[in-house]
């Protein structure tokens, strides 16, 4: 696939792995992008230092799932479990990449998980990880690592969740800004030949919507045949969420920079949206 000057350049991808279903979805997406763009893939597993420290406390205990009994935590067992998870993550990555002959590497780091994941992605063009954490309380909101990547990370960010693939319908928020143009052309570049691309034209008048429609179609080239244009007025996050839900698409591609929304508003949208998101932070 050829990329235009306004398409996101991805040469190195970092994917965070923790053996959860969200992590599996992230790996599948990272492999798909690496295969298309001939990018190098780097996997990272983080041994949670806070979990290890907690296991060493004399008063630390856990509730067994099967019996609901409270038992002590064996620090050595926690160490063994983390090492086993790291091996499983490395094997999962090897199996996912070897059939496509993707250049890849895998590292294990120890520390505070969000900070270590962001640190591992400093030299990458794209960071891929699950939207949510492994604990039930996090399932409907962003996990701690995803939230830190959205608000503090510098790498372009793909947040995945189970049940979605890059082959499904795509959606782009388009307001005519440079960031939205990059998002639109990036979506067109990763879309398959039959993938519907829903373009949400954020316009507050018919004339503005027509102008955005013409500009978006010109940017998409041949892929404009796959576009479905939807004009909606900008009236805040609740209405935008409602419109996205009515279309019921897959991956949302958007930029952190917008002529309508502040960076904080974009972050709020991602927090509340229960879909995978590709957030563009830099070219």
pLDDT in tens, 174-192: 999 999 999 999 999 888 8
pTM for this entry: 0.89
pLDDT value of position 128: 97
pLDDT value of position 2: 43
Residue 279 is classified by DSSP as E
Query: For the chain, what are the domain ranges?
Result: 12-57+69-160, 170-280
Q: Are 183 and 211 in contact (CB under 8 A)?
A: no
pLDDT value of position 3: 44
pLDDT value of position 63: 61
12-57+69-160 against 170-280: fold identical: yes
Element (H, E) at 265: helix 263-272
Residue 223 is classified by DSSP as G
CB atoms within 10 A of CB 31: 22
Q: Pinpoint the alpha helices (H) of the chain.
A: 21-37, 49-55, 75-98, 113-120, 144-152, 178-190, 206-220, 237-247, 263-272
Span 170-280: which CATH code? 3.40.50.620
Low-confidence stretches of the chain (pLDDT beneath 50): 1-5, 136-138
Span 12-57+69-160: which CATH code? 3.40.50.620
């Amino acid at each position: 696939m050829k990329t235009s000057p306004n398409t996101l350049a991805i040469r190195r991808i970092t994917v965070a792995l923790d053996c959860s279903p969200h992590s599996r979805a992230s790996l599948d997406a990272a492999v798909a992008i690496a295969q298309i763009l001939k990018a190098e893939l780097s996997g990272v597993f983080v041994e949670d230092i806070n979990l290890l420290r907690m296991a060493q406390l004399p008063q630390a205990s856990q509730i067994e799932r099967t019996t609901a009994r409270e038992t002590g935590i064996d620090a050595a067992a926690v160490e063994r479990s983390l090492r086993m998870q790291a091996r499983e993550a490395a094997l999962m990555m090897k199996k996912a990449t070897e059939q496509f002959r993707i250049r890849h590497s895998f590292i294990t780091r120890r520390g505070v998980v969000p900070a270590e994941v962001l640190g591992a992605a400093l030299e990458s063009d794209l960071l891929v990880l699950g939207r949510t954490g492994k604990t039930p309380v996090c399932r409907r909101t962003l996990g701690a690592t995803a939230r830190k990547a959205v608000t503090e990370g510098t790498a372009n960010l793909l947040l995945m969740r189970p049940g979605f693939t890059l082959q499904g319908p795509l959606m782009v928020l388009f307001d005519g800004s440079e960031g939205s143009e990059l998002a639109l052309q990036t979506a067109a570049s990763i879309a398959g030949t039959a993938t519907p691309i829903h373009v949400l034209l954020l316009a507050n008048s018919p004339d503005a919507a027509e102008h955005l429609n013409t500009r978006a179609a010109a940017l998409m080239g041949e892929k404009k045949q796959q576009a479905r244009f939807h004009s909606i007025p900008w009236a805040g996050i609740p209405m935008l969420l409602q419109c996205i839900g009515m279309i019921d698409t897959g991956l949302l591609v958007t930029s952190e920079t917008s002529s309508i929304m502040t960076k904080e508003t974009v972050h709020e949208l991602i927090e509340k949206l229960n879909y995978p998101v590709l957030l563009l932070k830099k070219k």
